[in-house]
Amino acid sequence: MMWQVGPLAFAAPWLLLALPALPVLWWLLRVSPPAPRSQAFPALRLLQDLPPVEETPHRTPWWLLLLRLAAAALLVLGLARPVWQPVGGGGGAGPLLLVLDDGWAAAPDWPARVAAAAGALEAAGREGRRVALLPTAPPETGEAIAASALMPAEEARARLAALRPRAWAPDRAAALAAFEAFRVATPGPIATVYVADGVEHGTDGFAALSGALAAAGPLTVARAEARPVRVLPPPRAEADRLVLRVLQTPVAAPTEATVLARTADGRAIASATLPFAAGATEAEAAMDLPIEIRNQVVRLDLEPEAGAAGTVLLDERFRRRPVGLSAALETTADAPLTGDLFYLDRALAPYAEIRRGTPEALLARQLAVLVLADREVPEGREREALARWVEQGGMLIRFAGPRLAERPDPLLPVALRAGERQLGGALSWDRPQALAPFPEGSPFAGLTPPAEVTIERQVLAEPSPRLTERSWARLADGTPLVTHVARGQGRIVLFHVTANAEWSNLPLSGLFVDMLRRLVALSAGVQGAEGETPLAPLEILDGFGRLGPAPPAAAPVAANRVEATAASPRHPPGWYGTPGRAEDAAWRRALNLSAQLPPPREAGALPPGTRVEPIGGVPAERDIGPWLLALALLLLAVDLLVSLAQRGLVGTQWSRAARTAAVLGALAGAPALAQEPDGAAALTARLGYVVTGDAQVDEISRMGLLGLSDFMNRRTAATLAEPHAVVPGRDDLSFYPLLYWPVLPDAGVPDGPAAAALNAFMRNGGIILLDTRDEGSGEGFNPGARAALRRVTRDLAVPPLAPVPDDHVLKRAFYLLQDLPGRFSGGQVWVARDQDRANDSVSPVIIGGHDWAAAWAQDARGQNPYATIPGGARQRVLAYRFGTNLVMYALTGNYKGDQVHVPAILERLGN
């Protein structure tokens, strides 16, 4: 059916038979003279009865002939439905089965995969084939994998557009079963296009599935070549740093990956780059993070790969270290300068969460470190609980003292001699001892003991062969000061001095703080007290690594099995916890997809006879027929004008001809922009929107700003004229207080003049509202817009951003607003951080994804053509109110912010 010449194919090649008729047309046009011009002439009588003069008849000029022939040829070519670089339709006969890997490995280049699949659907539609879809990952409803029914390609395209990559692995064995079921329902010849992610998941299911597909009919496999699939497993926490590891499928060229550490409000506060050698499958790097900073990190993102496998959520185990303090006598423990816990409390409070109470009460909750200051542990339930907790990974730090010296117990790293040793007392020859340098292998290695720290009394360990290896710190004479022992997964540490300044001046020095800090960082994290409590899914990662509400099929996980749970439709990766205490971060556990993933390895060989097509990098096929037809029509219009001119019907009135040409030009689709070059735009205030090139989006922007201007004119003193479309770098932006800029997924980097114009615009006080149109409830509407946003803002001088704080002027400029919804709601809106004093603290850029223009849009009848999501008239009203605040913000800056100080000013005046 198709006839292909190089990269060009014709869907209706028999129409090309009309091309040989062109010379006949040439001959006809040559012999028949053009229609004569008509000319009224009073002196007609003098022209009548002219003698016949032997002359060549007037011929159609050669360039006009060529024009007409070109138009005819274009018509024929255009009607033959040419396709540039057609995507193979799978070959063979019968319906087309489109198999699509939609597991986590497909997420990073999902748009390219969908484009490849859409190309196959396009070809199938052209050939009139019916199509069935078979995604290989289990759907999020938890149902079994099944192929869809046969349907027309158009319908399949809608289904395809609704597919999203899953945050779990595909199940190729189940897909094979679904395929066999499909074959039972649809015997006969089929062709298969398999958009594969190129990774083996679990067992070697790829070979079996592709083999079965190849056996049923011609198989085309589309896969991304030379693109590594990467996995970021949860990092290893060490003192003062996170050790990151990234696994990937080997590629020929050296590459590198970047890991960003983000805080709860989305700021990236650290990054680490991991270089991969050529052919390497693993890279490691350390992210140096002081524990105060690390405590703020909630997620790690692998860049530039998006996807659930490149996202690690860090829960309590990586972050806070709750430290329990317990003393023998709670009443005197806090006495200034003498209390047992006075120095400990001050040393630990800046970077750890301090809890107080008896050991039993403290162990009822999760705890990382328990410090017992000169407190004996009596035999019984308390000792058992402590021992069990240490076995599970807790770190017990004990300080010596008179009580411990009297009654040692088994929860000590070394056996103690009874009584204590006194140095430098009235009855002793010894002098108070200084500290020896810390031995290698001790967590304190690297710290320099100050010379003024001296120990006057201590408890002594019974000598034993293992004493040396158990000592982390010694005195200058070699007696151990800090000893430790590992018990199960945890450890017990003993300071042979008191926690107050009674026996030594160690607690008075900075060294004490550093030592405690290192010990806390060494602890394994929160331990114990979890058990079988079911944790419900709170927020769930989708395939792209974005957090969203939990789907109905997601089920709770027992707290002690979160670590070991593999991601699946029933247990998608994300945050799990007790819903009532969702805001308490201490009660959230993270289920990470990458925790249970094996290192990715490339899928096996394809069955023989398989056609392989690459994904991405190849331009999609292009139906150029309409363009040829449009060009032919344009040529015919030119021919018409020329003919009219030759016959004197337009004559020398070039103005009319020019007008006709202008009308034709406008019809030909040249974007007519309403911008007057003479600066008439400066006469009234008006809003502007950046032209994206997508006619529909630009129309929404125009209607949206029109609706907003209308609202402003009715409700406020501002008078806004009709909005203008602007092209940065071409139009003068200085007339507009506010530019609305919808970011399309295919938006490119603005060129030099455009970036310069936008930067000047922002520098001079203009505000740009960047709208990715995919936030909150609109998530997934506009895949790829985030990456496009990154491209768009690459050359722009965007200041450091932060989420809009509650007291931001934007929420109070006219109306008092809680959130800033547009067509969508619930996403995050970003403005410049408040510290930025440039431009009087007015943010030059506002970034969000609520598709505001669609919410503001009004059609010619004053109705809103786009429904709000989740909906309601209230959301529309709030969207308009946000628009009002925004324009007020653009027009008056932080003027309303100054109103905050009115009470203070009044008070000062009163005084």
Partner 1 sequence: MADTRPAVSVAVPWAEALGATLPPLVVQAERVAATVMQGVHGRRRPGQGDAFWQFRPYVAGDAAARVDWRQSAKSDRLFVRETEWEAAQTVALWCQGGPGMAWRSSRDLPEKRFRAELLVLALAALMFRGGERVRLFGLPRAFTGRGALAALAEALPRQALAPEDDRVPRHARAVLVGDFLAPLQETRNAVAALASRSVRGHLVQVLDPAEETLPFSGRIRFEAVAGAEHALVPRVEGVRALYEERLARHREGLAAIAAGAGWSFATHRTDQPPEAALLALHRRLAPA
Nearer to partner 1, 33 or 279 (CB): 33
Q: Which two tokens stand for residue 458?
A: 């201590």
Distance, in Å, from the CA atom of 806 to the CA atom of 431, rounded to the nearest integer, reads 61
Residues 6+ away with beta carbon under 8 Å from 24: none
Contact 29, 639 (CB under 8 A): no
Nearer to partner 1, 62 or 429 (CB): 62
Closest approach of Cβ 30 to partner 1, in Å? 15
Residues paired with residue 504 on neighbouring β-strands, in sequence order? 455
Q: Of the ranges 37-45, 717-725, 857-865, 888-896, which one interacts with partner 1 (CB under 8 A)? A: 37-45
Among 6, 55, 381, 532, binds partner 1 (CB under 8 A): 55
Closest approach of Cβ 40 to partner 1, in Å? 5
Q: Of the ranges 47-55, 147-155, 266-274, 785-793, which one interacts with partner 1 (CB under 8 A)? A: 47-55
Q: Does 452 bind partner 1 (CB under 8 A)?
A: no
The count of residues interacting with partner 1 (CB under 8 A) is: 23
Burial-class residue 463 by CB neighbours within 10 Å (0-12, 13-18, 19+). exposed
Among 57, 187, 677, 903, binds partner 1 (CB under 8 A): 57
Distance, in Å, from the CA atom of 898 to the CA atom of 889, rounded to the nearest integer, reads 12
Nearer to partner 1, 40 or 860 (CB): 40
Within its chain, how far is the Cα of 522 from the centroid? 32
Q: Does 800 bind partner 1 (CB under 8 A)?
A: no
Nearer to partner 1, 652 or 911 (CB): 652
List the interface residues with partner 1, window 603-662 (CB under 8 A).
646, 652
Q: Does 463 bind partner 1 (CB under 8 A)?
A: no
Closest approach of Cβ 61 to partner 1, in Å? 10
Q: Of the ranges 36-44, 460-468, 554-562, 656-664, which one interacts with partner 1 (CB under 8 A)? A: 36-44
Contact 701, 853 (CB under 8 A): yes
Q: Does 837 bind partner 1 (CB under 8 A)?
A: no
Among 24, 28, 38, 62, binds partner 1 (CB under 8 A): 38
Distance, in Å, from the CA atom of 599 to the CA atom of 592, rounded to the nearest integer, reads 15
Helix (H, G, I), strand (E, B) or coil at 830: strand
Q: Does 37 bind partner 1 (CB under 8 A)?
A: yes
Nearest to 337 by CA among 497, 515, 453, 508: 508
Nearer to partner 1, 258 or 646 (CB): 646
Within its chain, how far is the Cα of 370 from the centroid? 39
Residues 6+ away with beta carbon under 8 Å from 320: 295, 352, 353, 368, 526, 585, 586
Among 5, 20, 28, 42, binds partner 1 (CB under 8 A): 42
Closest approach of Cβ 636 to partner 1, in Å? 22
Q: Of the ranges 52-60, 276-284, 518-526, 692-700, which one interacts with partner 1 (CB under 8 A)? A: 52-60
Q: Does 43 bind partner 1 (CB under 8 A)?
A: yes
Among 41, 62, 63, 429, binds partner 1 (CB under 8 A): 41
Nearer to partner 1, 39 or 696 (CB): 39
Q: Does 50 bind partner 1 (CB under 8 A)?
A: yes
Q: Does 46 bind partner 1 (CB under 8 A)?
A: yes
Distance, in Å, from the CA atom of 302 to the CA atom of 230, rounded to the nearest integer, reads 9
Q: Does 53 bind partner 1 (CB under 8 A)?
A: yes
Contact 285, 244 (CB under 8 A): yes
Nearer to partner 1, 33 or 599 (CB): 33
Distance, in Å, from the CA atom of 261 to the CA atom of 266, rounded to the nearest integer, reads 9
Q: Of the ranges 40-48, 94-102, 265-273, 832-840, which one interacts with partner 1 (CB under 8 A)? A: 40-48
The one-letter code for the residue type at 660 is: T
Q: Which two tokens stand for residue 63?
A: 């360039």
Nearer to partner 1, 55 or 907 (CB): 55
Q: Of the ranges 34-42, 182-190, 560-568, 696-704, which one interacts with partner 1 (CB under 8 A)? A: 34-42
Contact 415, 435 (CB under 8 A): no
Nearest to 229 by CA among 257, 204, 203, 206: 257
Alpha-carbon dihedral 686, 691, 695, 696, rounded to 10 degrees: -60
H-run or E-run covering 264: none
Among 6, 20, 58, 128, binds partner 1 (CB under 8 A): 58
Closest approach of Cβ 33 to partner 1, in Å? 6
Between the alpha carbon of residue 145 and those of residues 100, 107, 160, 456, 603, the distances in Å are 12, 19, 15, 73, 21
Q: Does 30 bind partner 1 (CB under 8 A)?
A: no
Nearest to 334 by CA among 342, 346, 326: 342
Q: Does 48 bind partner 1 (CB under 8 A)?
A: yes
Between the alpha carbon of residue 383 and those of residues 17, 236, 317, 829, the distances in Å are 97, 31, 25, 52
Nearer to partner 1, 63 or 429 (CB): 63
Q: Which two tokens stand for residue 118?
A: 């859409």
Among 4, 21, 32, 33, binds partner 1 (CB under 8 A): 33
Q: Does 39 bind partner 1 (CB under 8 A)?
A: yes
Q: Does 36 bind partner 1 (CB under 8 A)?
A: yes
The alpha carbons of the chain give a radius of gyration, in whole angstroms, of 38
Nearer to partner 1, 57 or 669 (CB): 57
Q: Of the ranges 50-58, 120-128, 270-278, 281-289, which one interacts with partner 1 (CB under 8 A)? A: 50-58
Residues paired with residue 284 on neighbouring β-strands, in sequence order? 245
Closest approach of Cβ 648 to partner 1, in Å? 8
Distance, in Å, from the CA atom of 401 to the CA atom of 329, rounded to the nearest integer, reads 13
Q: Of the ranges 32-40, 71-79, 147-155, 220-228, which one interacts with partner 1 (CB under 8 A)? A: 32-40
Would residue 856 be called left, alpha or beta, if left means φ above 0 and alpha means ψ between -120 and 50 degrees?
alpha
Would residue 673 be called left, alpha or beta, if left means φ above 0 and alpha means ψ between -120 and 50 degrees?
beta
Q: Which two tokens stand for residue 83?
A: 């396709």
Among 5, 24, 28, 44, binds partner 1 (CB under 8 A): 44
Q: By CB under 8 A, name the binding residues for partner 1.
A: 33-34, 36-48, 50-51, 53, 55, 57-58, 646, 652
